[in-house]
Structure 1
Amino acid sequence: MIPRTAADIAVTVDVVALTVRNQRLQVLLVERMLDPFRGCWALPGGFVLADESLEDAARRELEEETGVQPGLLPGQKRDDGAQASLSLIPHKSAAMGGHLEQLRTYGPLHRDPRGPVLSVAYLALAPAFDVPSAGGDAAEVAWHDVAKVLGDKAAQPAQASARTASQTPVSTQRFTPSQPQLAFDHAQILADGVERARAKIEYSPLATAFCPPEFTIAELREVYEAVWGAPIDARNFHRKAVGTPGFLEATGSSRAQAVGRPAALYRRAPGTDVTDGVLNPPLMRSR
């Protein structure tokens, strides 16, 4: 039996945790230990407890199943209005920044063979880091290339799909790890999260959430290329990035390169939130 709310509908959270590793956009997935979809890959998540907020549930499930420890960033608001937000911090590691926002809700019908389940999905972005061992009801945890998981779906938002998750019956088919297709409607949730990230980095500094506190313009450009899945003209990107007020700030430091001159280091402009619309006109991806 699954837990029920007063309306006889269970509530869960699912987390689309994205990072850029080896110049590829990757998503954090867990292998399910329990039925339904035992042995299949899925987004980290689980049922919301009676005494916790949705964001607290997202942070708890992420930590329990993947070993990624949520931390709080000052100056941002949680669901309950507190001045905090999610920072993705590996166990036994220093804070690495990051960003969490609510994506959308899914269901409650035709998502779970056990009954009606409403899922509140969150999008989490963070710099690349290694993942500790799995925990909770996850048998394994690993990073997977988004392009491999979603294929052509990676470029399509939910509204472009001919059939939505709510119209598609839930299947109990199992998939091999070499082709990591997802349990429940998590492929649709992942596609929506990827599209949200792709759209927001056009006009906001959200791409810096994938970077360490200080980064080069080339490193930031690689984030855009990985998220969009397409190359970007280096000169035009450099001109736009350093010439847009409120986007980046030069640190005054540089990093030695294997070839050529040391590269200047930048950070997100102080006082600018990662979702502020500072890029106007926006950076445009290939459609």
Structure 2
Amino acid sequence: MPIGLAVSTVIFALRPDSSRPDEPSILSIPLVRRTRDPFAGRWSLPGGVADDDESLADTAARKLYETTQLAPAYLEQLYAFGDVDRAWSGRVVSVVYWALVRSELADQAAEGENVRWFAADELPDLAFDHNRIVEYALWRLRNKMEYSRIAHAFLGETFTLAELRRVHEIVLQRTLDPANFRRQIESSATVVATDEVVSGGRHRPPRLYRYDTTIRLADNGPLGG
């Protein structure tokens, strides 16, 4: 029996949720509604059958743009899912890519009847084994948050330590002690204090930081080299 090859993409972004006014942002992913069988009407990850004339990464990027209008600066391969019974039409191997995008890029995603953002931890019953794929992607993301500089993909070029801590809290789903977090970040030597501060507040203006791109970490996560 021939083996089919498909690609899917998991995009994570921090976005506001109108149903949670007390939470400024939550970890979210875009999903697309299937318009044909199998699983017609169910939500799924953006993707489709791999194209013979392009690389898997190019197919993933093209399918993602066609469905959501999102064009992240990078897509990195996450994992290959190939259980024998994962598709109805025969054995299909899905090569999954992922990316993290800032809120302003996520806001450019085309939303409508068949494209919608969902809270990553509160998904409906998805088509195929896409719930399992998202669960794995979430596990990888949270694991890497503990030891890599992956959080900077959600931030701008400069940021305050409070903003960086908030990204960790949203993704890890737990409150972090500000003093301990500051000590851990500063001792890691992965961020550099700039000469800039955030102006306009009534209190002492917080300093802006940036990631030290001269340091090559042992594991940069899905940000690549």
Match runs of 1:20-59 below 5 Å = 20-21=14-15, 22-59=24-61
Work out whether residues 32 and 139 of structure 1, in 8 Å CA contact, stay in contact via their aligned partners in 2. Answer: no
Q: State the aligned residue count.
A: 210
Counterpart residue number, 1:97: none
Q: Runs of 5+ in structure 2 lacking a partner?
A: 16-23, 221-225
Residue type at the aligned position of 2:7: V
Work out whether residues 29 and 43 of structure 1, in 8 Å CA contact, stay in contact via their aligned partners in 2. Answer: yes
Deviation string 1:45-79 (CA, Å, 9 cap, x unpaired) is 111100111111111111111100244xxxxxxxx
Counterpart residue number, 1:261: 204
How has the CA–CA distance of structure 1 residues 210 and 109 changed in structure 2, closer, same or farther, with 3 Å as cutoff?
same
Does 2:104 match 1:130? no
TM-score, length of structure 1 as denominator length? 0.68
Q: Which protein, 1 or 2, shows the higher relative CO under an 8 Å CA cutoff with sep ≥ 6? A: 2
Work out whether residues 125 and 210 of structure 1, in 8 Å CA contact, stay in contact via their aligned partners in 2. Answer: yes
| Cα distance in 2 between the residues matched to 1:205 and 1:31 | 33
Q: Runs of 5+ in structure 1 lacking a partner?
A: 1-6, 72-85, 87-99, 150-179, 279-287
Counterpart residue number, 2:6: 12
Deviation string 1:173-229 (CA, Å, 9 cap, x unpaired) is xxxxxxx22111000000000110111111110111111221111111111111111
Q: Quote the sequence identity (%).
A: 38
Work out whether residues 205 and 276 of structure 1, in 8 Å CA contact, stay in contact via their aligned partners in 2. Answer: no
| Cα distance in 2 between the residues matched to 1:277 and 1:132 | 29
Please give the root-mean-square deviation of Cα atoms over the aligned residues, in Å: 2.0
Work out whether residues 33 and 139 of structure 1, in 8 Å CA contact, stay in contact via their aligned partners in 2. Answer: no
Q: Secondary structure at the match of 1:251?
A: strand
Work out whether residues 11 and 119 of structure 1, in 8 Å CA contact, stay in contact via their aligned partners in 2. Answer: yes
* CA shift for structure 1 position 39: 1.4
Does 2:136 match 1:188? no
Q: Which moved more, 1:39-48 or 1:20-29?
A: 20-29
TM-score, length of structure 2 as denominator length? 0.85
| Cα distance in 2 between the residues matched to 1:58 and 1:193 | 16
